[in-house]
Structure 1
């Protein structure tokens, strides 16, 4: 494990002037904001590493630090004991320098402008998401709809990665831009393929947008293709950013994090106030036919047979996926024009406040989830989404890992049929190696226990 003992860099474009108060809060080792900046910066500098355990990364680089030094011409970043893979001949890679600047920009703006405003209003939260994205130059007027959100696992077999890349290539040939969670696997593949497709079409302004948040960034460090990075304050605002920015969502095979995203979106699409939804396509290679059969059956078991009307499954045929997505975006374009809604931000979409409030995966909150099929479908989907959010936290997020280590597995209670469905799905994910392994080679250590 090689480290760069010391280096200095200047933020690029996004932020090079800070107030004294901002510098103090970001530089004081005892300040909470400094710890947040340090953890996100370490994740950025750990790009291209195969390590996805946030706790282990922190231990490996316990002596890492990043500080702000005020100078007459702006701010200088002092970096200590950084991962060496982010440097070439001792110089920080330009793209990583851009990502560091984006992290600094978003943390400062969010802390001093967004979180300072106390509000639980749904409309105000949506407005906050918009302002964070606008500050990062993610929302752009006078541009026709062309953003495809791609979700899927970050630790996937080569065949699935190659398929995601081929689908991304078909998107690129059609002039479509990509939004992902910014990590590797099914998040990197579509971006890499789209970059080749854009090059063939001589598109030089292709957008490869990565949306992350502090709790997940260590396990899903931004891949090298990302050229626009934004760090949202929490997972709920991250998910809202996806559905407000994107025009179509494509889901590749993944694990519990992907299922969390699916239930978040289905909760929105099922809400009775949403007349117009978001086109949703599940796509994977022939080897993933069983995966999508299992997922389809699970969704129907939890939310009813009619749920399949909200999505389409395409097995193989990357060109077909590209064609269908292009057609879906054309329909979104027509709808937005007809309703006089903005192309760049889906204001008309109603998101239930339950999906906007941060779900903190404590043992008490996990046990209190209401997994009851008598609930309205959009509320049940929201509750199931929270259950999977907690499992994600227990697998890869520092807070969740510490909670499970201290208090034991999370207890999930609910209707027996739903509990059996969740249990069966998770066992299949373990068998397919879509769940993070714990201590002991090849043995999954569950962070949850199902009761019901």
Structure 2
């Protein structure tokens, strides 16, 4: 199999959510990765949006790399259809390995785990631990309230607009993923992300 054209890390819910648009977006993201010769890096689960994006990537001909803690494997939540399934001991190891294996990051709708992963790689970029693109796919207005709150943080003096500019937000899947992949490249300095945790 040819070397993937890029590796995109996708953060998203382990549940499908109530709005069918969420699963449709996950399907579209996986389809886009696979049809563009890419590789999905994700949390290794088989349920919810995570399972949807992984299956769509695989069916579209892309590679799937899952990273999952042993505790979740023990609960039989691992996706055994991954091309690579890395079983780690802690969430810290999981996130660090996912970051190392990725050229760019995108968050879809999800819960606190998704929020935490997104904010961590965004923070790492702010601190200069990496210079990889970070994106947020705002499906069906899911992140509208979060974006409004972040602007409140800027207005209150706890963040600057330059920090907001480090994360690309869009509602169009193709537009966002194309921008993230084009922004990633060989000029991105390799960073030992394991030293961050």
TM-score, normalization: structure 2? 0.81
Answer whether contact 1:150 1:186 (CA < 8 A) is retained: no
Of the candidates 152, 159, 162, which is equivalent to residue 24 of structure 2? 162
Partner of 2:8: helix, strand, or coil?
strand
Seen in structure 2, the aligned counterparts of structure 1 residues 254 and 143 have a Cα distance that, compared at 3 Å, is same
Of the candidates 234, 238, 242, which is equivalent to residue 90 of structure 2? 234
Seen in structure 2, the aligned counterparts of structure 1 residues 145 and 173 have a Cα distance that, compared at 3 Å, is closer
Match for residue 288 of structure 1?
142
Answer whether contact 2:100 2:193 (CA < 8 A) is retained: no
The answer to whether 1:180 aligns with 2:35 is no
Q: How does 1:155-304 map to 2 (within 5 A)?
A: 155=15, 156-157=17-18, 158-183=20-45, 184-198=47-61, 206-217=62-73, 221-223=77-79, 225-272=81-128, 274=129, 276-294=130-148, 296-297=150-151, 300=154, 304=159
1:305 to partner: Cα distance: 2.9
Match for residue 147 of structure 1?
7
Note the residue ranges of structure 2 that are not aligned, 5 or more in a row. Answer: none
Partner of 2:60: helix, strand, or coil?
helix
Q: How does 1:34-45 map to 2 (within 5 A)?
A: none
Deviation per residue, 1:75-132 (Å, 9 max, x gap): xxxxxxxxxxxxxxxxxxxxxxxxxxxxxxxxxxxxxxxxxxxxxxxxxxxxxxxxxx
Partner of 2:106: helix, strand, or coil?
strand
Seen in structure 2, the aligned counterparts of structure 1 residues 313 and 186 have a Cα distance that, compared at 3 Å, is same
Which of structures 1 and 2 has the bigger CA Rg? 1
1:352 to partner: Cα distance: 7.9
Match for residue 310 of structure 1?
166
Structure 1 Cα separation of the partners of residues 160 and 68 of structure 2: 33
1:254 to partner: Cα distance: 1.3
1:291 to partner: Cα distance: 4.7
Structure 2 Cα separation of the partners of residues 299 and 350 of structure 1: 30
Answer whether contact 1:167 1:321 (CA < 8 A) is retained: no
1:217 to partner: Cα distance: 4.0
Structure 2 Cα separation of the partners of residues 220 and 304 of structure 1: 40
1:159 to partner: Cα distance: 2.2
Seen in structure 2, the aligned counterparts of structure 1 residues 238 and 196 have a Cα distance that, compared at 3 Å, is same
1:224 to partner: Cα distance: 5.5
Structure 1 Cα separation of the partners of residues 159 and 9 of structure 2: 25
Note the residue ranges of structure 1 that are not aligned, 5 or more in a row. Answer: 1-141, 199-205, 340-347, 357-452
Structure 1 Cα separation of the partners of residues 100 and 94 of structure 2: 10
Match for residue 191 of structure 2?
349
Answer whether contact 1:149 1:247 (CA < 8 A) is retained: yes
Structure 2 Cα separation of the partners of residues 299 and 244 of structure 1: 29
Structure 2 Cα separation of the partners of residues 148 and 160 of structure 1: 18
1:310 to partner: Cα distance: 1.1
Answer whether contact 1:164 1:284 (CA < 8 A) is retained: no
Deviation per residue, 1:8-36 (Å, 9 max, x gap): xxxxxxxxxxxxxxxxxxxxxxxxxxxxx
Seen in structure 2, the aligned counterparts of structure 1 residues 351 and 180 have a Cα distance that, compared at 3 Å, is closer
Match for residue 10 of structure 1?
none
Structure 1 Cα separation of the partners of residues 152 and 87 of structure 2: 32
